[in-house]
Structure 1
């Protein structure tokens, strides 16, 4: 606690999944699948 500095600036919530830091339902949906691999096997079923 020796180097703790207090500030009068209000805290801010920043959504890390967008460049602007703003939350949206779309960015949440995309973040849910971030890093996952796509599986297109459903195309084989519906193609028949």
Structure 2
């Protein structure tokens, strides 16, 4: 399957990743259909996060 993978500031790509699998009886696979991003999340994407 394809996933948007964050590789570091300014470096993200659609990569092939393995399909999720159940490994333990308490595991769950969740399908995310909608998401959003907070403005503060952009700091890690742009490497402007204050230390």
TM-score of the pair, normalised by structure 2:
0.25
Structure (1 or 2) with the greater strand fraction:
2
TM-score of the pair, normalised by structure 1:
0.26
Structure (1 or 2) with the greater helix fraction:
1
Q: Is the radius of gyration larger for structure 1 or structure 2?
A: 1
**Highest RCO, 1 vs 2 (Cα 8 Å, sep ≥ 6):** 2
